[in-house]
Structure 1
Amino acid sequence: MAETTTYTRTETAARAEDLHRSYGRGPATVHALRGVSVALEPGTFTAVMGPSGSGKTTLLHCLAGMDRPTRGTVRWGDTEVTGLPERKLAELRRTRIGFVFQAFNLMPAMTVAQNVELPGRLAGIRPDRDRVLEALDRVGLAGRERHRPGQLSGGQQQRVAIARALVSRPSVLFADEPTGALDRATGHEVLALLRSQVDRDGRTCVMVTHDPVAAGYADRVLLLADGLVVDELTRPTAAEVAARLGRLGG
């Protein structure tokens, strides 16, 4: 039986303060974020939405420590990560956060278990077999550890990717369009799995999505436009999200 990991509500899981992110120089400068502040409480599920070019993916990458803001700060718990050296930041990423991409990013020649172990192996960490099996059990893939990705459906492959993100038992799970490559029914299964990480384990989940139905799984929805948070919805229905997005041109 998988061990249950829970997270306390005594501190903010992640926080961004006055984030600015620009790319390029001079007249060609693109201002992806223009002063975004957001707090992510432990045990909550937040969806980030907005029109193309609104800054939602940039915000996710800055929060996850995968991109550095031009100005502003990012904290994970009480640790400010913005100015950390790359090596120290990479070490913290391996233990404090998990990241799920739209593309499953699995190695086809490796087994499911080997794919889950891969980030740790690349970091020189000896894999913990029990943790790998626990992560696979949590995503409903117990007994599939010796299969290869090509033997699995698209939804099962995304579950492997989620298990890979969970194996370090992170407090915050980031997901960038995690259902974008899946059909609707399979996407619902993945969204329910992400929701269960919040409800069962108290993990914090942050997801970028363009789908109002997917956003309906979240506790709140942040709406971005032109690099700014312009609206926030709490426990919205898919119809409410779609209507608000329509006003933004998303």
Structure 2
Amino acid sequence: MSEPLVSVKSVSVSLGGNPVLSDVSLTLTAGRITTLIGPNGAGKSTLARLVLGLIPADTGTISRRKGLRVGYMPQQIKIDDSLPLTVDRFLWLAASGPTAARREALQRAGVAHLRRRAVQRLSGGEMQRVLLARALLRKPDLLVLDEPAQGVDVAGQNALYGLLREVRDELGCAILLVSHDLHLVMAATDEVICLQRHVCCSGTPESVSRDPAYHELFGPGAGTPNLALYTHDHDHDHDLHGNAHHHHEGPCNHD
């Protein structure tokens, strides 16, 4: 196996005196897709910020490969409606390189036709792809996406995840996806990590084409080959404060 791009080992983080992460480990390797899931307040964004080097850990270690290039796609960006800003100019503000590079990034994201469109006129799905193009301008070794499917319907999620798989295959980059959806994940994911301040469980998602629960949800002809269901297998439950209480048998529910 190649050298990890990012290695997080037994990290713990407290914010404002409140524990956010406890003894969490994570390894990101080139060419692999990792999906980080968990309910609101589980520490997903905190772990992503640790990976990005934006905040330090209280305990544990974080190592990054020297010269690591990271592309980041946030949940959303608020832009003043009165600001005259085209998609091309928006990308230029992130990377003021040649026009050809911005055109190539938009083409790769499937929105080259939006280059002269005002960003305020973009739909939610279009804006997500523009944000992806912005992240791709760096030719990243690691692509971090925070809730990339937020506000996008199932068909849009399927198309976006298919595009991300193509990006991974072409660039050979690692991808870290952050999602609040506990069960619907990208089918090409190599590892799913369920977080609730600590790692509750991890593993590969079940193949959507063989999972009867998928057909119950969407029907056999739904046509979403880039989505899969993930089944949790925890040995503990959480109280209202997020604290873990271990038990000997039975799965954990996130109700």
State the TM-score, normalized to the length of structure 2: 0.76
Residue 17 of structure 1 is matched in structure 2 by: 9
Runs of 4+ aligned residues of structure 1 deviating over 6 Å after TM superposition are none
Residue type of the alignment partner of 2:86: T
Residue type of the alignment partner of 2:49: H
| Greater helix content | 1
Residue 246 of structure 2 is matched in structure 1 by: none
Cα separation, 2, equivalents of 1:151 and 1:52? 29
User: Could you tell me how far 1:248 is from its partner in structure 2?
Assistant: 4.3
User: What is the CA RMSD across the aligned residues, in angstroms?
Assistant: 2.3
Q: Please, which runs of 5 or more residues in structure 1 have no aligned partner?
A: 1-8, 80-91, 121-125
- Which residue, 77, 100, 103 being the options, matches 2:76? 103
User: Could you tell me how far 1:104 is from its partner in structure 2?
Assistant: 4.3
Cα separation, 1, equivalents of 2:88 and 2:2? 34
Residue 62 of structure 1 is matched in structure 2 by: 50
Matched, 1:223 2:215: no
Q: Please, which runs of 5 or more residues in structure 2 have no aligned partner?
A: 214-228, 235-250
Query: CA 1:202–1:179 in structure 2 vs 1: closer, same or farther (change >3 Å)?
Result: same
Residue 177 of structure 1 is matched in structure 2 by: 147
How many residues align structurally?
Answer: 217
Residue 204 of structure 2 is matched in structure 1 by: 234
User: Could you tell me how far 1:71 is from its partner in structure 2?
Assistant: 2.4
Query: CA 1:67–1:35 in structure 2 vs 1: closer, same or farther (change >3 Å)?
Result: same
User: Could you tell me how far 1:68 is from its partner in structure 2?
Assistant: 2.1
Within-5 A mapping of 1:126-145: 126-145=96-115
- Which protein, 1 or 2, shows the higher relative CO under an 8 Å CA cutoff with sep ≥ 6? 1
Residue 150 of structure 1 is matched in structure 2 by: 120
Cα separation, 2, equivalents of 1:54 and 1:222? 12
User: Could you tell me how far 1:247 is from its partner in structure 2?
Assistant: 2.1
Query: CA 1:50–1:151 in structure 2 vs 1: closer, same or farther (change >3 Å)?
Result: closer
Query: Identity, % of aligned pairs?
Result: 29
Cα separation, 2, equivalents of 1:144 and 1:38? 37
Residue type of the alignment partner of 1:118: L
Query: CA 1:194–1:228 in structure 2 vs 1: closer, same or farther (change >3 Å)?
Result: same
Residue 32 of structure 1 is matched in structure 2 by: 20
User: Could you tell me how far 1:242 is from its partner in structure 2?
Assistant: 4.6
Q: Deviations over 1:51-83 (max 9, x none)?
A: 332222211111112222222332222x4xxxx
